[in-house]
Amino acid sequence: MIRLCIWNEFRHELREPVKSLYPEGIHRAIADGIDCEGIDIRFATLDDPEQGLSDEILNNTDVLIWWAHLAHREVADSLAAKIRDRVLAGMGLIVLHSGHMSKIFQAVMGTSCTLRWRQIGEKERLWTVDPSHPIVKGVPETFTLEHEEMYGEPFGIPDDGKIVFMSWFAGGDVFRSGVTFQRGAGKVFYFAPGHETFPTYYDRNVLKVISNAVRWAAPAEYFPIECRKWAEPEEKVQ
């Protein structure tokens, strides 16, 4: 079983207009919508004890999904560092939408992660860039979201990202909306759709992408981060 933890800030859903759209929270909408076969799901939110991620929970998570937008700064630096180390050791990380400005995404990217944005509810069209990638399996070559927040270039991510999806917006912008990275032993996927006032996490294509991404990001094994103390030579050295 893949041990998936869906971490959600879970503040905006406590009030309208988001409350009506995601009454149980974005985390539960995602859990209800993805293909759960072989996946064991737990939830964590910012206002849970230890901000939802105790050592015990983090050390028993294979893939972490991260959604947040209002309270990035409230996440403890020490927690972001612990999550980063867990990613480097092999845990998969899926960062959704406004999670691009989270401490954990910035920590694993090492860059600003900034972008252009516009919230007028315009149409977004996503295009599959790499039809061979496991994340796009069963996803149409192109699909639309009738209303989304525009995220546009330049996007402050490193150049080693592998682009899986590109988006076009009705206002004319384009964006690298699905990008994968390898950080240490961990796989990282950033996926842009998911503004909280739109029903994006009920869209079957978006849910299919997230389902695939969880399976893609799950580690086969972990590689603890350590500098070994002394390496004996394998060959006789003069």
Measure the CA–CA gap between 68 and 15, rounded to whole angstroms.
15
Looking at 45-147, list the stretches that DSSP marks H as alpha helix, in order from N- to C-terminal side: 55-58, 77-89, 103-109
In the chain, the amino acid numbered 155 is F
Min CB(118)–Zn ion separation in Å:
10
Q: Which is nearer to Zn ion, 43 or 67 (CB)?
A: 67
Q: Which is nearer to Zn ion, 51 or 98 (CB)?
A: 98
Min CB(69)–Zn ion separation in Å:
6
212 binds Zn ion (CB under 5 A): no
Residue 163 CA, distance from chain mean position: 14
- Could you tell me which stretch among 20-28, 92-100, 155-163, 198-206 binds Zn ion (CB under 5 A)? 92-100
Nearest in space to 92 (alpha carbons), one of 126, 132, 128, 134: 134
Min CB(25)–Zn ion separation in Å:
16
Compute, in degrees rounded to 10, the torsion defined by CA atoms 24, 30, 32, 37.
-150
124 binds Zn ion (CB under 5 A): no
Q: Which is nearer to Zn ion, 68 or 108 (CB)?
A: 68
Question: Scanning residues 148 to 207, which ones bind Zn ion (CB under 5 A)?
Answer: 149, 195
In degrees, to the nearest 5, what angle opens at C-alpha 66 toward C-alphas 61 and 71? 125
Number of shown-chain residues binding Zn ion (CB under 5 A): 3
Q: Which is nearer to Zn ion, 136 or 209 (CB)?
A: 209
Contact assessment for residue 138 and residue 208, using Cβ atoms and an 8 Å cutoff: yes
- Could you tell me which stretch among 60-68, 144-152, 157-165, 199-207 binds Zn ion (CB under 5 A)? 144-152
Compute, in degrees rounded to 10, the torsion defined by CA atoms 211, 68, 14, 121.
-80
Tokens of 88: 């480097």
Handedness of CA 62, 133, 88, 232 (dihedral sign): positive
Q: Which is nearer to Zn ion, 8 or 98 (CB)?
A: 98
Measure the CA–CA gap between 9 and 75, rounded to whole angstroms.
9
Which residue is nearest to Zn ion, using beta carbons?
Answer: 195
Count of beta carbons in the 10 Å neighbourhood of residue 169: 21
Min CB(62)–Zn ion separation in Å:
27
Q: Which is nearer to Zn ion, 103 or 195 (CB)?
A: 195
- Could you tell me which stretch among 6-14, 96-104, 105-113, 173-181 binds Zn ion (CB under 5 A)? 96-104
98 binds Zn ion (CB under 5 A): yes
Min CB(116)–Zn ion separation in Å:
13
Binding residues (CB under 5 A) for Zn ion: these are 98, 149, 195
